[in-house]
């Protein structure tokens, strides 16, 4: 099969790989329909996030079941599924306490970063990480389920309540999904994004069905006059900006992964204004079925602005500003094996 593999020079190259087959009784092999390019994938290529050279990248995957191991009773060939790529070992101390999202072995269990992923024709993984889609949910909506699971976890970590104001920092796909999740919690949502083209893409997503309760802003004074009870930094290096956007007694959630970011905080400001800074990781796998249910009600397919075959991966990553000095020209880009 064709697969997109990370090279030692932090580029990707399309190679031939053996098709994965069921090897353990609990295995499921998924024939990939499409896979979203995540901000994390982009971060790997621009040197902001570690990954294992030689790995097949890609983790936001949907498709149909190709084959199942002898012990799999929950899936059969032909089932339409979405993949939960956040594997965990199940036996380390955090896992035994149910904190699967903080698995001690996480550094070796992320599909598409440490284990072979879904920018390929087929993907093999344990059946418990494969979820059947509700009837009628199309693949363009379902490809947003994994980002939605991240968003739900981080919105919940901020303890967002109906009637509050949420400021979502960053108008990329995760920011947009966070804004949808925050809106669903009953909040008024301000989404900030510096790139004018992305601002327009975001406005188009929220133009209908959200009751005018999600608005898009440049990161400037207009946000500072209406601060957030909850602020979510989906970029990962904007904590200082996030603190400035927070109302007194506000909760600032760091969501974006950025291995090189650092920030200066003034302890007295945290103390006097009663601010909280929260880190919540990506998501616990028990949230994944909740994300699938919620996806029935959120128009996640509006995020998909571009679709490319695997062969045209260079154009796909270029649309996400993965090359130095290039602007964003897309929201969510998906890769389709052919
Ligand atoms: Zn992702
Ligand atoms: Zn573990």
Handedness of CA 35, 37, 39, 41 (dihedral sign): positive
Residue 160 lies in a domain: yes
Residue 259 lies in a domain: yes
SS3 of residue 207 by DSSP: coil
Cα of 76 vs centre of ligand 2, distance in Å, is: 28
What is the overall mean pLDDT for the chain?
93
Cα of 7 vs centre of ligand 1, distance in Å, is: 19
Cα of 103 vs centre of ligand 2, distance in Å, is: 4
Cα of 98 vs centre of ligand 2, distance in Å, is: 9
Do residues 139 and 39 share a domain?
yes
Residue 289 lies in a domain: no
Do residues 250 and 324 share a domain?
no
Count: domains in the chain: 2
For residue 37, give the nearest of 259, 328, 283 by alpha carbon: 328
Q: Which ligand is nearest the CA of 89, by number?
A: 2
Helices (H), 185-312: 196-206, 221-224, 239-245, 267-273, 288-295
pLDDT digits (tens, 9 = 90+) for 234-273: 999 999 999 999 999 999 999 998 888 999 999 999 999 9
Residue 288 lies in a domain: no
Do residues 180 and 129 share a domain?
no
Cα of 129 vs centre of ligand 2, distance in Å, is: 15
Residue 291 lies in a domain: no
Q: DSSP readout, 35-56? A: EEPPHHHHHHHTTSS---TT-B
For residue 142, give the nearest of 81, 233, 218, 206 by alpha carbon: 81
CA distance linking residue 6 with residue 51, whole number of Å: 8
The whole-number average pLDDT for the span 26-52 is 90
Q: Which ligand is nearest the CA of 36, by number?
A: 1
Q: Which ligand is nearest the CA of 144, by number?
A: 1
Do residues 139 and 167 share a domain?
no
CA distance linking residue 279 with residue 102, whole number of Å: 12
CATH code (residue 130): 3.90.180.10
Please, which residues have CB less than 5 A from ligand 1, an ion?
Answer: 38, 40
pLDDT digits (tens, 9 = 90+) for 120-174: 999 999 999 999 999 999 999 999 999 999 999 999 999 999 999 999 999 999 9
Residue 294 lies in a domain: no
When mean pLDDT is compared over 121-125, 314-318, 322-326, the highest value belongs to 121-125
Do residues 103 and 135 share a domain?
yes
Residue 78 lies in a domain: yes
Do residues 14 and 130 share a domain?
yes
The whole-number average pLDDT for the span 312-335 is 82
Q: Which ligand is nearest the CA of 84, by number?
A: 1
Q: What percent of the chain has pLDDT over 90?
A: 80
Cα of 86 vs centre of ligand 2, distance in Å, is: 11
Regarding predicted confidence, which is higher, 159 or 86? 159
Regarding predicted confidence, which is higher, 47 or 290? 290
Cα of 97 vs centre of ligand 2, distance in Å, is: 10
CA-to-CA separations, 25 to 11, 28, 72, 127, in angstroms, rounded: 35, 9, 7, 9
pLDDT digits (tens, 9 = 90+) for 46-65: 887 778 899 999 999 999 99
CB burial readout 18-44, b (16+ within 10 A) else e: eebebeeeebbbbbbbbbbbbbbbbbb
Q: Which ligand is nearest the CA of 37, by number?
A: 1
Cα of 249 vs centre of ligand 1, distance in Å, is: 30
pTM of the predicted model, to two decimals?
Answer: 0.94
Do residues 126 and 176 share a domain?
no
Do residues 73 and 113 share a domain?
yes
Q: Which ligand is nearest the CA of 143, by number?
A: 1
Do residues 267 and 162 share a domain?
yes
Do residues 119 and 200 share a domain?
no
Looking at residue 173, its pLDDT comes to: 94
CA-to-CA separations, 135 to 2, 83, 132, 198, 280, in angstroms, rounded: 29, 16, 9, 32, 32
Cα of 43 vs centre of ligand 2, distance in Å, is: 25
Do residues 115 and 170 share a domain?
no
Do residues 23 and 139 share a domain?
yes
CA distance linking residue 224 with residue 37, whole number of Å: 32
Domain extent, residue 17, equals 2-143+299-336
């Amino acid at each position: 099969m064709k697969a997109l593999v990370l090279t030692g020079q932090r580029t990707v190259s399309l190679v031939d790989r053996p098709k994965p087959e069921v090897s353990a009784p609990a295995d499921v092999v998924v024939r990939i329909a499409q896979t979203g390019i995540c901000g994390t994938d982009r971060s790997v290529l621009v040197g902001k996030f570690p990954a294992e050279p030689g790995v097949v990248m890609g983790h936001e995957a949907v498709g149909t079941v190709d084959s199942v191991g002898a012990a799999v009773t929950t899936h059969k060939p032909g089932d339409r599924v979405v993949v939960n790529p956040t594997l965990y070992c199940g036996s380390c101390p955090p896992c035994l306490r149910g904190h699967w999202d903080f698995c001690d072995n996480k550094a070796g269990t992320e599909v598409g970063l440490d284990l072979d992923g879904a920018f390929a024709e087929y993907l093999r993984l344990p059946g418990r990480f494969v979820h059947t889609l509700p009837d009628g949910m199309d693949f363009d909506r379902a490809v947003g389920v994994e980002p939605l699971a991240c968003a739900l976890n981080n919105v919940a970590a901020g303890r967002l309540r109906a009637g509050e104001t949420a400021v979502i920092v960053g108008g990329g796909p995760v920011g947009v999904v966070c804004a949808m999740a925050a809106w669903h919690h009953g909040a008024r949502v301000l989404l900030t994004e510096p790139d004018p083209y992305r601002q327009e893409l975001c406005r188009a997503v929220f133009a209908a069905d959200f009751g005018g309760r999600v608005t898009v802003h440049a990161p400037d004074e207009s946000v500072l006059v209406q601060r957030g009870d909850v602020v979510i930094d989906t970029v990962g290096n904007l904590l200082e900006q996030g603190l400035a956007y927070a109302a007194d007694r506000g909760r600032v959630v760091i969501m974006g992964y950025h291995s090189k970011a650092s920030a200066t905080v003034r302890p007295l400001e945290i103390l006097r204004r009663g601010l909280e800074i929260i880190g919540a990781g990506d998501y616990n796998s028990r949230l994944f079925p909740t994300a699938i249910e919620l996806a029935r009600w959120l128009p996640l397919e509006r995020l998909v602005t571009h679709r490319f075959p695997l062969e045209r991966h260079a154009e796909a990553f270029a649309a996400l500003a993965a090359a130095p000095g290039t602007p964003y020209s897309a929201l969510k880009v998906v890769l389709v094996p052919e």
